[in-house]
A and B are shown apart, each in its own frame.
Chain A
Amino acid sequence: MEQLLQHLVNGLVLGGTYALLGIGLTLIFGLMSVVNFAHGEFYTLGAYAAFAVLALAGWPFFAALAAAIAAGAVLGALCERTLLRPLRGESIDTVMLVMIGLWIAMQNTELLVWGGVARSIPHPFPTEPLTLGPLNIAPLRLFVVGAAAALIAAAWLLIQRTRLGTAMRATFQDRDTAALMGVPIGRIHTITFAFGSALAAAAGALLGPVFLAYPSMGDLASLKAFSVVILGGLGNLAGATLGGLLLGVAEELGAGYVSSGYRDAVGFVAIILVLLFRPAGLFARAERIG
């Protein structure tokens, strides 16, 4: 029983981080129909930006977080302007190929700049865990989950409750009508991609100190982000959040009670089951199909 509780806590904490990875990806897909294979690289970028600011420049932790978000947003905007804008109206496959190219280019640049050796990112939280009865949780992880929840809420508010969010949704519902109503289409695309990339970079800066920073760290992050997004339904923010939590708990319980060697397999079996019964994802609304 004690073990089950600890497994559930572990799973929810891990799932919160998966959700954070998933929302940026699902946002870009849902609003722009771009399958962003470079998502994991913006995550890596965030981790290294945090490392540079914290360990090399010696700034405080929250400045590093802000710097990582800024780096993600700026590079995201740049990528949209140079790579995606000329491709607007092209088929989704063409765009996908370009994003795969960006993924490879970014990962190799990271390898060139930082080398292959993993870096440990310092953080100001105590390493001693908080203990509640039989449960243990590290303060840093608690902070990461809190920050993830705040970022997810902020993303939701931005899209649902602001003028900018309305413009974003209008653009991606019907580009021509939105343009006729005076929405600056080009700028909206740039902002959306920058925002999704900034969320990935934020995830990297938050999770970098929990784990380690190394050039190929984005691959695992991408894999998890895609799993979460497929699980929750492409383009669905609430779906990505719940999908993340579900995947985290499924993996944790699978590793705890089935076999730790097949941890990832358990997560994917869960995804296959969901897709068998709800092909558009757990939380997709009917209109997203097709």
Chain B
Amino acid sequence: MLKRAVASCLVFLLAVTAVPTAGDAQAPIKIGVIQPLSGPVAASGNYVRMGAEIARDWINARGGVSGRKIELVIEDNKSDPKEAASAAEKLIVRDKVPAIMGAWGSSMTLAAMPKLEEYGVPMVVETSSAASVTRRGNPWVFRISPPSEMEALGLAQYVDKLGVKKADFLAVNTDWGRGAIQAFGDMLKKRGVQVGAAEYMEQAATDMNAQITKIKGTGGDTLFLTTAVEQITLVLKQGQEQRLQRKIITTGGSSSPTQLIKQAGAAAEGSYHIVFFMPWFPEAMPDGKLAKAFVDEWNKRGHPFEGLTEGFRGHDGIATIVEAVKLSGKDEPKAIRDALWKVSFTGVNGPIKFEKDGPAGKESGQSKPSIFVVQVRDGKVALPDFLKK
């Protein structure tokens, strides 16, 4: 009996050692991706995945990283924080990925973060906006999307030109939404703008009439709206049903104005959107040539145009991790983490370079992304008048 047990242990050990190890020159370099591919915010997650696949194919077409191909291991977090944590665990333990990109929503990212620290694997955060993502003292987190404060500061210079006198807020009831109301509220108060109602909606909620009725009662002139494109569509449509006459400004960069025009129609007219990529005028981006190439590739693949404002995040996230792998020369979690601090290149959004954020000694990395404002006018996406040269 004992003999047989020892024998099977030996067989097991042999089997384990026969699997190609991380250092194998020909084995692909695995990168984990956690995105909401189903559930209430699935559209955004799928677009990020498409962008990530473009980055992978471009890098592989150029011969990969020192002869090794990039392989994406993609997991669905079902728009659910619990699922995000188990997806991270699965990627790290079962697939043994040395780095992860994810996990779209702030609540999902925050839920996955303890796993990074537990196993020591870095994650590039491509979308999340809550300040807490880089303030929790998790040294394995590197964010290329702007936290809400950075976004609010980016908008501060336009507050007067937008004519904001009294603002209300409607946000998804998550870390992202709550953080955005805080950040934009602080910025507006500092500039002497009155702040009215701050209303919330559940992520899966479809009927926002109660909140809209309440907001109508405050007599403000501007509504800051923070949620994903599905709920923005519903709020715009229901706002129209109740004749809510407000300047609407969406935050977080997940508004996909082209999709809004398609699905909300006239209800989207006049609304302003903070975005981090302008696929309508790629030449106006920091690296116009790269942005144009990305848009062309996206169209060539037949992906929906409205997904580009999310899709670029996937490209930039994977490109960031690959830069770090190149700099470190190996695909090991700790080496990639150390190399992420040295990364400096220009992605579709603009320059990516990490600075320290969070409690001393356990800082997370935070890049300073470019921020843009666009407006829906005559059923098209345009630069607002005050930005026109």
> CB-nearest residue of chain A relative to B45?
A116
Known: A116-B39, A212-B206, A214-B230. A10 touches B213 (CB 8 A): yes
Judge whether A216 and B38 touch: CB under 8 Å. yes
Chain A residue nearest to B204 in the complex (CB): A220
Closest A residue to B78 by beta carbon equals: A216
The reply to whether B262 and A260 form a contact with Cβ atoms under 8 Å apart is no
CB distance from B309 to the nearest CB of A (A): 14
Question: In the complex, which residues of chain A have a beta carbon less than 8 angstroms from the beta carbon of B36?
Answer: 116
Nearest residue in A to B242 (C-beta to C-beta)?
A136
Contacts of B202 in A (CB 8 A): 263-264
CA distance A120 to B39 in the complex (A): 16
Residue of A with least CB distance to B233: A212
Name the one of A11, A118, A215, A255 contacting B211, with C-beta atoms under 8 angstroms.
A255
Please encode chain B, from 199 to 242, with 1 for each CB lying within 8 Å of some chain A CB and 0 for all others. Answer: 11110111101110110110000000000001001100100111
Contact of B241 among A129, A255, A256 (CB under 8 A): A129
Chain A residues closer than 8 Å to B322, beta-carbon distance: none
Asked if A3 lies at the interface with its beta carbon under 8 angstroms from chain B, I say yes
**Known pairs A129-B241, A212-B230; A116 contacts B46 (CB<8 A):** yes
Nearest-neighbour CB distance to chain B for A10, whole angstroms, equals 4
Which single residue of chain B is at the shortest CB-CB distance from A251? B210
- Asked, given contacts A6-B213, A212-B263, whether A120 binds B205 with beta carbons under 8 Å apart, the answer is no
B173 beta carbon closer than 8 Å to chain A: yes
A143 at the interface (CB under 8 A from B): no
Residues of B within 8 A of A254 (CB): 210
Q: Mark A15-40, 1 if CB is under 8 A from B, else 0.
A: 00000000000000000000000000
A211–B233 alpha-carbon span in the complex (Å): 9
Residues on the A chain within 8 Å of B237, using CB = 127
Q: A7-B210, A215-B38 are in contact. Are A261 and B43 (CB under 8 A)?
A: no
Measured CA separation A138–B242 after assembly (Å): 8
Query: A117: CB under 8 A from chain B?
Result: yes
- Chain A interface main SS type: helix
Our pick among A120, A220, A263 for the contact of B263 (Cβ within 8 Å) is: A120
Counting CB contacts under 8 A, is B359 at the interface? no
**Complex contacts, A214 vs chain B, CB 8 Å:** 40, 42, 230
The verdict on B23 contacting chain A, using a C-beta distance below 8 Å, is no
B213 touches A7 (CB 8 A): yes
**Taking CB as reference atom, which chain A residue is nearest B217?**
A3
A252-B209, A261-B173, A264-B202 given; A117·B240 CB < 8 A: no
Say yes or no: B233 contacts A261, CB within 8 Å.
Answer: no
The residues in A between 194 and 251 inclusive whose CB is less than 8 angstroms from any CB of B are: 211-212, 214-217, 219-220, 251
Instruction: Tell me if A3 and B43 are in contact (CB < 8 A).
Output: no
> Quick one: which of B42, B199, B204, B265 contacts A116, CB cutoff 8 A?
B42
* B179 CB, min distance to chain A CBs, angstroms: 14
Residue from B46, B206, B262 in contact with A115 in the complex, judged by beta carbons closer than 8 Å? B46
Residues of chain A at interface, number, CB under 8 A: 40
Residues of chain A contacted by B262 (CB below 8 angstroms) = 120
Q: Does B343 contact A (CB under 8 A)?
A: no
User: How far apart sit A255 and B207, CA to CA, in the bound complex (Å)?
Assistant: 11
List, in ascending order, chain B residues with CB within 8 A of A270's CB.
Answer: none
Q: In the complex the two chains form, what is the Cα distance from A220 to B53 in whole Å?
A: 32
Q: Is B205 a contact of A263 with CB atoms below 8 Å? A: yes
Give chain A nearest CB distance to B25 CB in angstroms: 37
Residues on A with C-beta less than 8 A from B211 are 255, 260
Once bound together, how far apart are the Cα atoms of A217 and B230, in whole Å? 12
Give the distance in Å from the alpha carbon of A131 to the alpha carbon of B242 in the complex: 9
Residue A111 at the chain B interface, CB threshold 8 Å: yes
Check if B38 sits within 8 Å of A211, measured CB to CB. Answer: no
**Which residues of A have CB within 8 Å of B266?**
127
The residue that A216 contacts in the complex, of B204, B209, B234, B242, with Cβ under 8 A, is B204
Alpha-carbon distance between A11 and B213 when the two chains are bound, in angstroms? 11
B40–A127 contact, CB under 8 A? no
| Known pairs A10-B209, A127-B240, A141-B241; A117 contacts B214 (CB<8 A) | no
Q: Taking the nearest CB of chain A, how far is it from the CB of B207, in angstroms?
A: 5
A120–B264 Cα distance when bound, in Å, is 8
Considering the complex, give the chain A residue whose CB is closest to the CB of B37.
A116
Contact A263 B241 (CB under 8 A): no
Closest B residue to A257 using CB positions: B214
In contact, A10 and B230 (Cβ under 8 angstroms): no
Find out whether the CB atom of B210 lies under 8 angstroms from the CB atom of A10.
Answer: yes
Residue A147 is within 8 A (CB to CB) of chain B in the complex: no
Question: With the chains together, A128 CA to B267 CA distance in Å?
Answer: 10
- Kindly state whether residue B189 has any CB partner on chain A within 8 Å: no
In the bound assembly, the distance between CA atoms of A111 and B45 in angstroms comes to 14
Which listed residue (B210, B233, B304) contacts A263, Cβ 8 A?
A: B210
Contact B43 A14 (CB under 8 A): no
A141 to B241, CA, bound (A): 9
Min Cβ gap B214→A in Å is 5
Report the Cα distance A216→B204, complex, angstroms: 9
Contact of A118 (CB < 8 Å), options: B43, B199, B213:
B43
B243 adjacent to chain A (CB < 8 Å)? yes
The residue in chain A whose Cβ has the minimal distance to the Cβ of B262 is A120
Taking a contact as CB atoms under 8 Å apart, the answer to whether A212 and B234 are in contact is yes
In the complex the two chains form, what is the Cα distance from A7 to B213 in whole Å?
Answer: 7
Task: Encode contact with B along A116-152: 1 for CB under 8 Å, 0 otherwise.
Answer: 1110100000011101000011100100000000000
Residues of chain B from 287 to 321 with CB closer than 8 A to chain A in the complex: 304
- The 14 listed contacts between A and B (C-beta, < 8 Å) are A7-B210, A14-B209, A117-B304, A118-B43, A118-B230, A120-B262, A128-B240, A129-B240, A212-B206, A216-B42, A216-B204, A220-B204, A260-B211, A264-B202
What would 5 more interface pairs be, CB under 8 Å, given A216-B79, A220-B206, A252-B209? Answer: A116-B36, A116-B39, A120-B262, A127-B237, A212-B263
Please list the 10 inter-chain residue pairs (A to B) with the smallest Cβ-Cβ separation, ordered nearest first. A116-B42, A255-B210, A261-B200, A138-B241, A120-B263, A10-B209, A117-B43, A211-B206, A260-B199, A116-B38
